[in-house]
Amino acid sequence: MTTDKMTDSYGLHHSILPSNDGLYGEFGGKIEHPELAKAMDDIEQGFREIIKDEDFIEEMSRLRQTYVGRPSPIFHARRLSAHCGGAQIYFKREDLNHTGAHKINHCLGEVLLAKKLGKTKVIAETGAGQHGVALATAAALMGLECEIHMGVVDIEKEHPNVSRMKILGAKIVPVSRGAGTLKEAVDSAFETYLDELDSSLFAIGSALGPAPYPEIVSYFQSVVGREARTQFLETTGNLPNKVVACVGGGSNAIGIFSGFLGDKEVEKVGVEPAGEGLETSNHAATMTLGVKGALHGFKCYVLLDEDGEPAPVHSIASGLDYPGVGPQHSLLRDMGLATYESATDAECLDAFMALSRLEGIIPALETAHAIAYAMRVAKDMSPDETILVNLSGRGDKDIDFILDKVKL
């Protein structure tokens, strides 16, 4: 408990804190809309207060242990490592958290923050439904209303998650305008939020968006990297040579990277979806092929179409399907403190099956991108070198899709 208290103090991820303007270098930034700007300032101030508040620290620590099941273990994937024939591969098992992924880490924080600010409701968008389920879970636990905006196309596609959210007591708002997917769901959720600024908190799903969201989400995810560093040292006596995570918006990656930002010798690698190939237009490799731009109220690397609009993107993993990326990753990349690689849909499917068959762990399709990259580079490394992968989530949600794609 005491260690958790001390390490939870604010100073820890100082190396990627934003300026007063919410900027990380030239990325990120604050929203200009006057009413929203005021709401964002209130959230920021509330956040700075609670993270120093003894009661909050105590409650977060208790919920992490008794509700989420933290600390999640580190696992040495011996058969997968032997199969690749090189470096030893380890996993940080965020898939073992309650609700099956890392998202519960920041959703708990956001819901506790909403309570602290006297709000009775959380509002959010969801794409594949993963963020919606984690938020609905945390809201049920804290007795808050939860309203999730979701495109009609996604509602059709992700039915099990829609059912979960409903069972958990969330209200689902179907969004049919435009393409009826994530982007429209964000717009719709923000519009509702504007009407209910006093009673509700907008709870974003990744380490992106306008300030203070990237900071808040990465703060609550930093528990992953902090635990992982200590556990890895205890288990192996050394730091890993590489720390690898998949990157959609960037929350699981910034969470695990943040534990190792002070360790120059540890190479941090984010893995983006190369979809059907970087040479096609069906991918979401924002860092690899994007340009500096803006999206949903913040500056970052972004994939644009010929008209300069955010491009339609593709990945086999709907949780990675976003044309932008968090501002902290955009800065880490420009500073050379992390590198960003990619894995294709096909590599992802191979990694998904390899981990299932060799270790008895069915990973999320998102996570399988990080595993695919680790498998690719492990074979060219020596057996006394190590790779630590953030196993961001489990793949139960993906099994029907896999049965359609893979011949068993």
Ligand X SMILES: *Cc1c(COP(=O)(O)O)cnc(C)c1O
DSSP state of 94: G
The dihedrals phi and psi of 121, each to the nearest 5 degrees, come to -150, 145
User: Are the C-beta atoms of residues 259 and 228 closer than 8 Å to each other?
Assistant: yes
Within positions 158 to 197, which residues make up the interface with ligand X, using CB under 6 A? none
| Total site size for ligand X, rule CB under 6 A | 19
Q: How far apart are CA 281 and CA 340, in angstroms?
A: 19
Q: What minimum distance in Å lies between the beta carbon of 64 and ligand X? A: 18
Torsion, Cα 366 369 372 373, to 10 degrees, reads -150
Residues 6+ apart with CB under 8 A from 181: 127, 151, 153, 154
Rank residues 88 and 105 by Cβ distance to ligand X and give the closer one. Answer: 105
The residue whose two tokens read 């509702």 is 192
Residue 250 interacts with ligand X (CB under 6 A): yes or no: yes
Output the six-digit token pair for 68: 């989420």
Which is closer to ligand X, CB of 256 or CB of 381?
A: 256
Residue 328 near ligand X by CB under 6 A = no
- 275 touching ligand X, by CB under 6 A: no
* By the rule CB under 6 A, 225 interacts with ligand X: no
Segment contacting ligand X (CB under 6 A): 65-73, 111-119, 240-248, 303-311? 240-248
Pick one of 132, 193, 392, 398: the residue that binds ligand X (CB under 6 A). 392
Say whether residue 150 binds ligand X (CB under 6 A).
no
Residues in the chain: 408
Helical (H) or strand (E) element with 33: none
Query: Of 193 and 322, which has the nearer Cβ to ligand X?
Result: 322
Q: Which residues contact 242 (CB under 8 A, 6 or more apart)?
A: 87, 266, 267, 268, 269, 374, 377, 386, 387, 388
- Segment interacting with ligand X, rule: CB under 6 A, options 64-72, 242-250, 279-287, 375-383: 242-250
Q: Is 22 in the site for ligand X (CB under 6 A)?
A: no
CB nearer to ligand X: pick between 94 and 147: 94
Among 189, 247, 271, 284, which residue interacts with ligand X (rule: CB under 6 A)?
Answer: 247
393 binds ligand X (CB under 6 A): yes
Residue positions annotated with a catalytic role: 103, 125, 392
Q: Does residue 327 touch ligand X according to CB under 6 A?
A: no
For ligand X, the binding residue among 61, 188, 241, 252 (CB under 6 A) is 252
Site residues for ligand X, 329-368, by CB under 6 A, read 364, 366-367
Whether the CB-CB separation of 220 and 251 falls below 8 Å is answered with: no
Interaction pattern, residues 120-139, with ligand X; x per rule: CB under 6 A: ----------x---------
Rounded to whole angstroms, what are the CA distances from 378 to 18, 193, 383? 34, 46, 9
**Position of minimal CB gap to ligand X:** 393
Note the Cα 260 to chain centre separation in Å. 17
Return the axis-axis angle of helices 327-334 and 213-236, rounded to nearest 10°. Answer: 60
Binding to ligand X, residues 88-117 (CB under 6 A): 101, 103
Q: Binding to ligand X by residue 386, rule CB under 6 A?
A: no
User: By CB under 6 A, is residue 218 in contact with ligand X?
Assistant: no
Cα–Cα distance list, 215 to 11, 48, 224 (Å):
12, 10, 15
- Is 258 near ligand X (CB under 6 A)? no
Interface with ligand X (CB under 6 A): 101, 103, 130, 206, 246-253, 319-320, 364, 366-367, 392-393
